[in-house]
Every structure is written in structure tokens, then in C-alpha cells.
Structure 1
Amino acid sequence: MASGGAEEDDGGIPLDIDNMHMLLQVEHDQIQKRTFTNWINAQLSKRCPPSHVSDLFSDLKNGSQLLDLLEVMTGQPMKRQRGRGVFQQRANIETALNFLKKKSIKMVNINIPDIMDGRPSIILGLIWTIILHCHIEELASTLSYSSCHSSLDSLTSLDSFSGSPVPASPVHAGRTSPLHKHFRISAKKALIMWVRDQCQRAGCSLSVKDFKKSWRSGEAFLAILCSLRPQLVDLSLVRFRRNQENLEEAFHLAERELHIPRLLEPQDVDVKDPDEKSIMTYVAQFLQYSNDMPSPDDHLQVPQSERALELTSWLQQAYQELSEARTATKHSSFAEKYQVRQRTSSQRIEKKQQL
């Protein structure tokens, strides 16, 4: 830092606080543009037929890709105006914004003319609103109280990362209620608690406190990978590599082995002040992968029709055995009848547990 409290750029020109803030905002906007574009294209690739966004700020002007995105995210068809005229573009954007408003999503300072003009801050704000409410919050709603129980003792430690208090006692609800609703915490906090849970399962001692500097070393990404697919990652090597080497391995493995789209590059994260929204967007994909993973014993699951046949067959067999035992012990002593009853009872209990 210079004596005047300003920092110099590479050219030796002193930068005041306002200029530093502006440069940081430009850097974040560039990272967000790349991340959000990659995220949108990952969603639009699921569409039939798929569509594509080349330039985030110009391609959303006609409203068509915006409606495509909402169709993929919600599974609901969107009525649209065909044609490339200003009227059609305005109508499509209005349809998209009205749809979001009907879902009780606040659209702060996001209006049709700014989207049609391709204003970067407005476009980025709109896409982040869609990501947060239609993707991250939807995923957070799948996190139950019981699924993150190992992280609940660290609820209060999230205060420093958000600045908002956590209630001392949970809302009256079942243990399997959504985590972020059960404890009145945001989807952001619920997601970070899920991350902590994954780190703990992977045996990683890293304390993830935010979606910024906690991710710079790449260890948190690798810990999640190790939790989801233990054979992929050797966490003992993390501390002997540079940040960008760890980040590159994490992003490469996630794309190759888990088919998680590569939204970020190592140089996007290994910076003094990583972009929170971009990292949250990427991390949410790991939660989505976790939700889509089959249960460890799914291959053992028997179809309900087969279970019903098995149960019916056993009931018929048990009835037959009981009838035969009753006939055979009709003239037996009480002690003999009791022994037969105990034997058949234990068999029923064992079979009941299996079914």
C-alpha cells in the first residue's frame, strides 16, 4: 500500500478506493458473464431441440432464449411471440418477467428496456435471480434436517459469514423437513452446510466459511469429489500442489467423471477476491449430482409387484405351517404347544423384518 492509502496498478499509477472497487466489479462481471453463459448453455442443452447462447448480453434481447431457459428450469411450456420485431421481443421478455413475478420472485430494478438494451448489470442480475430461485433454492429444498445432522452443531458459526443471526431453536417441523426452512436459514447457508457435511465425510479438516476465499485453494472442491466418489481423489496430495493445480484437477475430474459442466476456470477462483455468485452456481451442480446419485443399495431393491408376490407366498406358507402345527399338537401338553408357538413366532418376526 502507498503512503496515501492508495494501491498502485501494474503501470505504477496510484489507484484510489473507488477505482479499486470499480476494477474489482469489472473483474467479477467478466467472471459472472462466463460462468452464467456456461450455466445457461448447460441447461439449454437439455432442451429438445437444444438452443445456445453465444453472447449473454446480446442474445437475451429477443426474449426467446430467456423463455427457453425458463421452460427447462420449470418444465412448463412458455407462450411466445414469433418474429424478430421489437414488439415480439418486448412481449417475450414481458412473459418471462411476469412468470417469475407470479412465482413470488422479486425483480428489483429489472425492466424490459434495460434487457432489450443489453445492459450488463441488469442481465447479470436477472440471470442470477433465476439461478438462485429456480436452481439453488430448489436444490436446497431437497436438503433435509436429518441429511445434514452432522453439521448442525456448526449452525451458529455461519453468523460470521452472513451477518444474520440463526435462531436458537428450530421451527416446529418434522426431522425430514427442508433444512433451510426448518432452521429459517437461507438457501445459501443450507448449501454451505451441505458442503461442510461433504468435507467431514471425506475426512477433510478445511473450514468452509463462505463462497469466496474458502474455495481458492481447490481443497473444498476436491473434498466434495472425494465424498461423492472416494476413489477419484487423494486428498493427501492437495497441500503439496499449487492452488491452480488443485482447481484444475477438481474441474477436470468433475467434468470427466461426474459430467458436471465446467463453469469455472482455475484463474477465476485463484484470485484475491473470488466471485461468490459464480462459485455458488458451480457448487450447486455437485449438490444436484448428489441428489441424482442412486442409493448404495438401489441394485438390491425389488419391484413392488415382486414384493407383493413374495409376501403372499409367505403368508400362505405360514398359514399352512400353523395349521399343521395346530393339528399335530392337538393332544400334546401345554409345554409342547408353547415350544411350537415360540418357534413359529420367531420365524414370523424374522420374515417380517426382511419384508
Structure 2
Amino acid sequence: QREFTQKKTFTTWINSILAKHTPPSVISDLYIDIQQGHLLLDLLEVLSGQHLPREKGFNTFQCRSNIENALTFLKSRSLKLINIHVADIIEGKPSIVLGLIWTIIFHFHIEELARTLACTYNQPSLDCSSAVDSSPKASRSSKKSAKIKERWKISATKALLLWAKEQCSLHGSISVTDFKSSWRSGLPFLAIIQTLRPGLVDLEKAKSRSNKENLKEAFRIAEVELNIPRLLEPEDVDIMNPDEKSIMTYVAQFLQYSRNLHESEDDMQEKVREAMSWLAAQEKKLAKLLIDTENETHYQKYKQMMSFMEAFNQEKNTFLPVLLSKRSEAELSESHQQMREEWDKLISQINEWKAKLDQMLPSPLDGIEAWLQEVEHLQAEDLPDLQDPFKAMFVFREVIVIFKGLMDCFDYHLDTLQSFKNEDEKNMPVVVPEKLEEMKRRFSNICFTNSNTFLEYHYGLCSAIANEVMLKLNIWDMKYGTKESVESLLENW
């Protein structure tokens, strides 16, 4: 059932993209049509805006070459193609083909859309959790970039779910907690439609209808009124455990709709110019503030930062629609690209400023801040690849030891923070109270996350997998023929 749903959903999504190709093309049977490589290259060309090399013919060699070109391009975008091989695609193996298409959908569609949301939800603030990594270790961005990319898939999924929650929260008790059974009633789809286009849906009436009726109505309205392709059918969602990837693909289209602002290019260019002017003014304001507060106390510096951030967060709301406009790289004008670069630069400068202030905290708060950041970075690390359970076991064991060592200091640091006397010899505050409250909240978050249990669970899982592998290998103690045939047997297994 899951494989059937994914095939249908992914095929419809691909055809909606291929309709934009010149000339347009269409997929009839995903497993068969992908084998030649041409449609796969067409898809990637539309999504990336790039022209990709290809063989024009359809013999085995040319088809293989086209698929290799497609996979090489995906790897150049730092996509992990685990167990996805040319031979499997040529054979049209369902699990491999679906895995490849999902990787493409997630990277080019969901990740790109959710990236704008991550900017929206992670604006610089006084809370360390909403800023870019600020520890001295994290400041070495070049060394961290790979790990940040590794973590992004989790962030993209969470960002998309958070967006969906926000749309639904405007309509009373309708809520979503995942991309599975939360959508079964059809009400979340209708709530999102009502948020995007008020007046199209009667939610009170919908609450008295069956799941299938609501789903059918939501998919119909989305297709007719919002021009969103019908990727799902009611029977795909109104089941005990609907397919998460198919629902994510469909929900992302509503986000795409919300990002596609219907305005002329002239209007957009004018808004870009206004945003650029505002960004330049903010950068000058920040630079002047850094100079003016150079010899101030930590308390005064932090107060100035709070004042700056309060004004910044208020003013930025005017420019967010253009700053975070959802357009692919290929669609962006030169001025729009420059604006995005300036926005990223400003955000980076603000986060660097906050990181320096955190490092300048008076003792013993500086040590507590460093400890907090180290624990938070460890909790944010992506899980090791379970494809290699032996290596994953080693990594888990190492992380568990580090984490337990850090958590041994939890009570000591918390007690020190709570007993910190926030005044100098003149009875003046040393640190702004907001900073102390932020640090206490982060202790609560670390305690709530309980990463140690999570890590030990995965270590146990890897151990079980590794034991199973060893058990299997130990019973293969008879001769199986040539060395080549044994290697083939092991590879297949």
C-alpha cells in the first residue's frame, strides 16, 4: 500500500514539474520511464535551472550514461545517495527508484521551501537557541558546514510541520503533530486552505462530515481554486498509518502556493530596492553601535544589543515577504540574489555579536555559557549512519561517554547559576536579568530533551543489528564456491 501510494504521488508531482520543461514531457510508469535517464535529466534541469549533459540515444550504454550523469549531478549538490546504483535504476527496482525520487523531492522542493521558513522561525533574538551556533568551536564555520548540512533534513521537516501547525492554529482546535494520522480527518488540509484563501471553506460544517468527505473536498478545492496538483486521494490518507513522505510532498505544495506572491516584476524590484536600502542602514547602525559600546561594561553592551534587536525585529516584518520570497535560484534576479547575500551577511554579523557577548560574560557565567553551548551542540548532532552498525556503535559509545561527562556537571552549573549574585561592589547589576533567565530556560530544555536515554537506545539498536550480522556470518562456515560468488552473496545479503 505504501509503495503504491508513493509511486502515484511521486509520479503526479514529477509530471507537474515536467510540464515546465521545454519541450514538456510526461511519465506514465515511473519504474519503466525512469530507466532511460532522459526524463530524470529533464526533471533535474527544471528543478535546478541548469542544462545537464546527456546522450541523445536510447541504447543500453546511452541510458546508463544519462543515469550516471543525473546521479553525478545530485552528488555534486552534496546529496547522499545511499544504496542507489545505476544498475538498480535501469532495472526499475521500486524501492530504489522511490528512494531516489524522494531524495530529489526533499532536496529541491521541501528543503528549498522550508529553508525560507527556517529563516522566519530562527530570526536572531536574545535567546541563544534561535541564533546561529555561537560557541568558539562553532565559529569555525568551514569545519561545521558539512555537519550543518547533515542536520538540515531534520530541520526542514520540523520547519514544514511548524508552518502547518501555525496555519491550523488559527482555526481553533485543529492541530497537527506529524505528517501521518494527524491529517486523516481532512480538517488540517481545509484549515490551511481557509488560511491561504479565506472564504473557500466552511470549517464548522466540515467538522460534522466524514473523513473521506473532508479529504475529497480539500483536494478538490486545492486543485480547482489553488491550482495545486491532486497528489493524493482520500483513501491514501484515511487509513491507520498513511504514508508520511506522500503527505509531506502534498503539504509542501500549499507552502509553495503561499510563497508565490502574485505581483509584477516591477513591484518586486521596487521592494528589493527598499529592502536593500533598509539592510544597508541596519548594517551601518550595527557597525556604529559596536564602535560606540567598545569600552562599555557587559551590562551596557547587552542592553544596547537588546535595544537594537527590539527595533530590528519590529522593522524586519515589513521586509520579510521579499527577503524570504520563495523563488528558485534560477528565477532570482541579480539584485534579488544580492539582497539575499546582504541579508545572510547581516544575520551572520548579529549572531557573531551575540557570540562575542556570550564569551565576555563575567566568571563563573562564562564557563556555564560554554558548557551550555557544548551540550546544545552535542544534542543537535545528527545520528550516525546506521548503514554501518559497527561504526555507528563506536560513534554512539563515544558520544554517550562525552555526554555523560558533561551531564555530570549539570547540577553544579545550575546551582552556580541560581546562586549567582548579580551585582558589583557598587550594587549595580553585572548582567542583564534577561540573559540569566535565558540561561535558566536552556537548562530546562537540556533536562527535558533527555538525550542520554535516546543515545543509549540507538546504541542498543546498533548492537542488536551488529550481533545479528555476526550471527549470520558465523553460520556461513561452509564453502560456497569461488571467491567471486561468495563476494556476490555477501553483497546481495
Letter in 1 for 2:53: K
- Relative to 1, partners in 2 of residues 1:224 and 1:148: Cα closer, same or farther, differing over 3 Å? farther
Change (3 A) 1:146 1:120: closer
| 1:141 maps to 2:115 | yes
Give a deviation string over 1:73-114, Cα, whole Å, max 9, x none: 111111110111111000000000000000000000000000
- Structure 2 counterpart of 1:129, from 103, 114, 123: 103
SS in 1 for 2:258: helix
Counterparts in 2 of 1:118 and 1:191: CA distance versus 1, 3 Å: same
- Aligned AA (1:140): A
- Structure 2 match to 1:193: 162
Q: Is structure 2 residue 172 aligned with structure 1 residue 172?
A: no
Q: Match for residue 275 of structure 1? A: 243
- Does residue 213 (structure 1) correspond to residue 177 (structure 2)? The answer is no
- RMSD of equivalent CA atoms: 2.9
Relative to structure 1, the CA distance from residue 191 to residue 303 in structure 2 (aligned partners, 3 Å threshold; closer, same or farther) is closer
Q: Which residue of 1 is the match for residue 252 of structure 2?
A: 284
Using the alignment, how far apart are the partners of 1:209 and 1:148 within structure 2?
A: 20
Q: Please give the secondary structure, in 2, of the residue aligned with 1:230.
A: coil
What SS is found at the alignment partner of 1:191? helix
Percent of aligned pairs with the same amino acid: 55
Q: Which letter does structure 2 place at the counterpart of 1:169?
A: S
Residues 1-355 of structure 1: pairs in structure 2 closer than 5 A: 27-146=1-120, 169-172=129-132, 186-201=155-170, 203-294=171-262, 304=270
Which amino acid in 2 is paired with 1:79?
P
User: Using a 3 Å threshold, how does the CA distance of structure 1 residues 303 and 214 change in structure 2: closer, same or farther?
Assistant: closer
CA distance in 1, matches of 2:239, 2:25: 32
Residue aligned with 1:60, SS: helix
Over 3 Å counting, the alpha-carbon distance change for 1:304 and 1:193 in structure 2 is closer
- Choose between structure 1 and 2 for higher RCO, CA contacts under 8 A separated by at least 6 residues: 2
Amino acid at match of 1:29: E
Give the letter aligned to residue 184 of structure 2: R
The one-letter amino acid of 2:196's match is L
Residue identity matched to 2:155: S
Q: CA deviation at 1:128?
A: 0.3
SS state of the match for residue 198, structure 1? helix
Which secondary structure does the structure 2 equivalent of 1:140 belong to? helix
Q: TM-score, normalised by structure 2?
A: 0.49
In structure 2, the gaps of 5 or more residues are 134-147, 275-493
CA distance in 2, matches of 1:293, 1:209: 28
User: TM-score if structure 1 supplies the norm length?
Assistant: 0.67
> How far did 1:148 drift?
8.5
Q: Distance in 1 between matches of 2:8 and 2:120?
A: 36
Give the structure with higher Rg (CA): 1
8 Å CA contact retained: 1:204, 1:223:
no
**Which runs of 4 or more aligned residues in structure 1 lie more than 6 Å from their structure 2 counterparts after TM superposition?**
none
Report the Cα distance in structure 2 between the residues aligned to 1:302 and 1:74, rounded to whole angstroms: 22
- C-alpha distance in structure 1 between counterparts of 2:15 and 2:101, whole Å: 12
* Structure 1: 5+ residue stretches without partners: 1-26, 153-166, 174-179, 309-355
Instruction: Give deviations 1:223-242, integer Å, cap 9, x for gaps.
Output: 00000001101111121100
The structure that is helix-richer by fraction is: 2
Q: How many residue pairs were aligned?
A: 256
1:271 is displaced (CA, Å) by: 0.6
CA contact (8 A) 1:148 1:194 kept: no
